Structure 1
């Protein structure tokens, strides 16, 4: 009897070891798939945003007023425009990812061209935000000197923002087919040439703010030109069949999906912009805006890593939904969240360790440095939350659930976060800290809500929805060839 019990225990132990070994193998395989998308994506995003942060650093050592002006433009106007374009472009992630998973590779080039049409029209409509920057900043109550500086710098950003139309959409198009390593290389070179260009124009040629902005323009368009060469040069033969009038067909459904995506991501990105605006109404607005924007840029720079996992989440979920693998989707989400959270904890600790020292990369003003130091604990918690909710947003984009998440973002960010931040910032002695606490409150409630939404999702039903979506946009390969030839 005892021998039988021992044998049973031994067999059970061996089965548990096999299950554990199988789980480890599955996690390893899934992790490789995730990092294949996330690593190039985060390198490109960190490098691209790094050029913006480096530009702010150079401008900050030229003039404190221009530092505040640049922060105003970059955080309000450019983030506003980028939010719309990123959101509108994320429809490309959904459609290209699901098309690739379903084997409809020839449709990906059409989705890309449609996104260019939609984004170019959208950006052109938004240009007055940059053209009339000074008037807008004065209208919302910013100090005249900061508004004038911001209005001048915003004109320099006009040719810069047009690179977003192509760089955002091409990255989504390439990462959906697991070819985004080229973007990582181009972005790495972009960051590498941006620093010496900035040193040359700002210090060697003594061009000041103009030199910093010129180096930003040159390095940003370097990536776009490289992407064009890669696509048009024949490295995407299955997905790029040339320019076609098919891109102008069925634009309305694409616009609808783009608007849903746009609202979802814009509500996230604009949230931080509104908080910077609130900081501008406080005493000593120059210090408040500069300190808050430095912390925001550090937070946003680390957020670029999370956007890499957002892209990975979108690609993995959309690919597997296109293939009809609901179980793989749920497993991938768990591995994504686990990996991203570990990275978030690492940067949480790093931010606490360096605290005040970070600010001296951007400014020599002791008042700004002290304010940044006071915000470092809150900044650390924001960075930790960055590791969770962007991944969930990527999952939502991959599944085409943008509209639902947009509603969640509206409630959590604008009905909870901003009012809470305004109350704590203006009705207590917390000042800028109060605004940031409100921001964290909004992000935390959004994270909890989206976690619950993803947990309750019926992924088998999402597979059916993905199939219906692909059928709606499908064109046969020979039909595309005929349209191109005509």
Structure 2
């Protein structure tokens, strides 16, 4: 009988070059992930500390009464949302300029950049002052309830010092982030938060000063934060980037304003989208319950959004640094790693929101009806949390690369020509109330995210590196830069 051999030739060993390429790619991914986390981690903690200032205020005011919670939420979401978004956007011009200047080794102009941004942001705060002083009639004009408008107007007037604190805060934070000086800022942000919680307990809970007391506590907390940041800036930690106040801050303001406005429009269109949603919800029947439910959900959403904001800042710095240094492939790798990592973290928060959708409203209120209405929105909240783990990272790429103007047009179309009209139809015409309005908002965000992903997929990073070089030559003094490193 013939026997059949089971011997087989051994599979050919993989080429040494293939193993080296795979190992090299994994190392680049690990290195880039480490670089992102070194920026994102402290920024996340900083954003959480600063966000918790408003979160703690809402938590204490929520136990004063439903109208007070709705009023403070409307001011935070509408009035401060408008101001916060505009000033954050104006300050975000520094992410493009400072980040690309650091990548090119031109740190000498960073101090002048931040001073120019202060001038522009403080002037913008003065222009926004009437909004704070006339909050009550403005809300009535937007058909908000009389009770909510009255309390909101009183609260907003006492929040004016926070408006000017924002104007100083955002430029100086971008100055620190561009140079990866983020851990000190995290420590600076933690101390005012502790003071804020203690003062709210004393002034609002124990002494019963209500919304006015909450506003005054917020003013003190924000200016403690600003004072600490300024002390660190002028204390000698930035010998090259900060050489003192200069009259150059008032030079070429026209061009700087244009760049700041482009950044502001892009970010404002995103932040005001949520403001518009709050206004729509305020026009529903029984607005105290509807606004309260939406506001509680948005507070949780914003809390989880801090992680994505950390990656927004990190990828903005990394993309700007790499483009400024003429390393387009490294910039592209930063985008891929940041989106993948933030999405993975967002998935964890999404699952947590689904599991705790019936318990989390009780932190803000003991009203059973409000708790029930908030729990109904839990599924939409979870979907929004996951989507917002990706979208802000894409916006960070746009800022780092200097695409603010183009993304602004995308935001107008997706948010205001698609999302809000659908929200109005679902909420009012089809009578789905707050749920319908949130669905419309979500549709607009999905469309915007999809378009940004397509833009990223089609981006030619070598061209972006050349544009960054031109930008640095214009704003930084015309220094000879290295040629593009195709292998980077």
**Could you state the TM-score of these two structures normalised by the residue count of structure 1?**
0.95
Count of paired positions: 473
Distance 2:8 2:329 in 1: 37
**Structure 1 gaps, min length 5:** 478-486
Partner of 1:480: none
Partner of 2:14: 11
Distance 2:157 2:366 in 1: 26
> In structure 1, which of residues 429, 442, 451 is the aligned counterpart of residue 444 of structure 2?
442
Contact 1:313 1:398 in 2 (8 A): yes
Higher mean Cα deviation, 433-442 or 420-429? Answer: 420-429
Deviation at 1:192, TM superposition (A): 2.2
Distance 1:79 1:201 in 2: 25
Partner of 1:307: 309
User: RMSD over aligned Cα, in angstroms?
Assistant: 1.6
- Do structure 1's residue 207 and structure 2's residue 205 form an aligned pair? no
**Could you state the TM-score of these two structures normalised by the residue count of structure 2?**
0.94
- What SS class does the counterpart of residue 356 from structure 1 fall into? coil
| Post-superposition CA distance 1:207-236 (Å, at most 9, x none) | 222322222222222211111111101011
Partner of 1:365: 367
Higher helix share: 1
Partner of 2:483: none
Deviation at 1:16, TM superposition (A): 4.3
> In structure 2, which of residues 210, 218, 242 is the aligned counterpart of residue 216 of structure 1?
218
> In structure 1, which of residues 31, 34, 38 is the aligned counterpart of residue 33 of structure 2?
31
Partner of 2:427: 425
> In structure 1, which of residues 59, 62, 67 is the aligned counterpart of residue 61 of structure 2?
59
Higher mean Cα deviation, 124-133 or 24-33? Answer: 24-33
> In structure 2, which of residues 137, 156, 168 is the aligned counterpart of residue 135 of structure 1?
137
- What SS class does the counterpart of residue 107 from structure 1 fall into? helix
Deviation at 1:202, TM superposition (A): 1.5
Q: How do 1:281-430 residues align onto structure 2 when only pairs under 5 Å count?
A: 281-430=283-432
Deviation at 1:206, TM superposition (A): 2.7
**Structure 2 gaps, min length 5:** 1-6, 480-488
Deviation at 1:317, TM superposition (A): 0.5
Higher mean Cα deviation, 219-228 or 395-404? Answer: 219-228
- Do structure 1's residue 230 and structure 2's residue 232 form an aligned pair? yes
Deviation at 1:476, TM superposition (A): 8.6
- What SS class does the counterpart of residue 358 from structure 2 fall into? helix
Partner of 2:170: 168
| Post-superposition CA distance 1:120-155 (Å, at most 9, x none) | 111110111110011101111111111000100011
Contact 1:250 1:473 in 2 (8 A): no
| Post-superposition CA distance 1:267-299 (Å, at most 9, x none) | 000000101100011110111111111111111
Distance 1:213 1:364 in 2: 23
Partner of 1:68: 70
Partner of 1:116: 118
| Post-superposition CA distance 1:275-330 (Å, at most 9, x none) | 11000111101111111111111111211221111101110000001000000011
- What SS class does the counterpart of residue 235 from structure 2 fall into? helix
Distance change (3 Å), C-alpha of 1:329 and 1:5: farther
Partner of 2:153: 151
Distance change (3 Å), C-alpha of 1:19 and 1:57: same
